Amino acid sequence: MAEQPFVECRGVSKAFGNVSALHEVDVDLYRGQVLAIVGDNGAGKSTLMKILSGVHQPDRGTIKIAGEPIRIADPHQARELGIATVFQNLALVDQRDVAANLFLGREPVRAGIFVNRKAMREGARRVFADLRVHMPSLAAEVGQLSGGQRQSIAIGRATAQQGRIIIMDEPTAALGVQESQKVLDLVMRLKAAGTGVVIVSHNLRHVFSVADRIMVLRRGRRVGERLHAETTPDDIVKLIVGAGRE
Binding-site ranges for ligand ATP (CB under 6 A): 16, 19, 21, 39, 41-47
Q: Of 192, 195, 146, 207, which is closest to residue 167 (Cα–Cα)?
A: 195
Q: Name the binder of 244 from ligand ATP, Mg ion, none, CB < 5-8 A by kind.
A: none
Please, which residues have CB within 8 angstroms of residue 172's CB and are 6 or more apart in sequence?
Answer: 151, 179, 180, 183, 184, 201, 203, 206
Q: To the nearest whole angstrom, how small is the minimum distance from the Cβ of residue 16 to ligand ATP?
A: 3
Q: State in angstroms the smallest separation of the CB of 21 from ligand ATP.
A: 3
In the three-class reduction of DSSP (H, G, I as helix; E, B as strand; rest coil), residue 114 is classed as strand
208 vs 36, 52, 213, 232, CA distance in Å? 9, 23, 9, 9
- State how far Cα 84 lies from the chain centre: 7
The helix or strand, by DSSP H or E, that contains position 50, with its residue range, turns out to be helix 45-52
Q: How far is the CB of 204 from ligand ATP (least distance, A)?
A: 13
Q: Which does 159 bind (CB under 5 to 8 A by kind): ligand ATP, Mg ion, none?
A: none
Q: How far is the CB of 80 from ligand ATP (least distance, A)?
A: 24
* Segment 24 to 63, residues that bind Mg ion, using CB under 5 A: 45-46
Q: Taking the complex as a whole, how short is the minimal distance between the CB of residue 244 and ligand ATP, in angstroms?
A: 17
Q: In what order do the strands lie in the sheet with 19-29?
A: 19-29, 7-16, 60-65, 68-69
Nearer CB in complex with Mg ion: 48/210:
48
Nearer to ligand ATP, 44 or 156 (CB): 44
Q: How far apart are the C-alpha atoms of 192 and 151, rounded to whole Å?
A: 20
Residue number with CB closer to ligand ATP (22 or 120) = 22
Query: Of 45 and 222, which has the nearer Cβ to Mg ion?
Result: 45
Asked if 201 touches Mg ion (CB under 5 A), the answer is: no
Contact 36, 231 (CB under 8 A): no
Q: Which does 47 bind (CB under 5 to 8 A by kind): Mg ion, ligand ATP, none?
A: ligand ATP
